[in-house]
Amino acid sequence: MKSHLFRTIVGVICLGAVSVAGSVTGALAQATSTNRVAAQTDWSVFVDDSPTQCWAVSGPKATVNTDASGRPKAVNRGQILMFVTWNPSSEISAQVSFTGGYPFASGSTVKLEIGASAFELFTTGENAWAASPADDARIVTAMKRGASAVLTGRSGRGTITKDTFSLLGFTAAVDEAGKRCDG
């Protein structure tokens, strides 16, 4: 539990350049429009200088929203983004996170599938993170080898969401962001 709370706080701090309240949706669009430093196929790299933070980010290529019985459901969602973030001042390196564009169901997790590998991300509000830096490292390794990442979550209203992210350009974007923040 302490690990989850710590990573939640760190994740909010890590994305603090984008949002003080922990919601990355609207503020991210503003921040990323002025500090994009590289684009690698389907992934972009952003840097904020005060304090130095770097992130690789991408939006989904496909999104499917269904009700509990599997029927398609029309829903309004905010920005849907997947990040790998560095914040050297907080000793964060290659932290994987996801914002689903809606509040996740309380106590729920997000399933992340990359090829034959599956991972579980814990949720807080609209955001989801891996449980530990070791999990982040395993996810990044799988993403470097994979073609797509599929994240499946459940909203507070019971909607099941399935977002598919292309991993084209992921390795180059992550390497660029890491080089800019880790040196």
pTM summary value:
0.81
Instruction: Give the strand order in the sheet containing 117-124.
Output: 36-40, 43-49, 52-58, 81-87, 92-99, 127-129, 117-124, 109-114, 148-154, 160-166, 62-66
pLDDT at 7: 44
Which phi and psi angles does 71 have, rounded to 5°? -80, 140
DSSP string, 67-78: -TTS-B------
Residues 2-182, CATH architecture: Sandwich (2.60)
pLDDT at 17: 33
Q: Per-block average pLDDT, block size 10, for the chain (183 residues)?
A: 38 37 36 62 88 92 94 94 93 94 96 97 96 96 98 96 97 94 76
Delimit the domains of the chain by residue range: 2-182
Please state, in angstroms and as integers, the Cα–Cα distance from residue 69 to each residue in 57, 109, 111, 154, following that order.
Answer: 32, 19, 18, 13
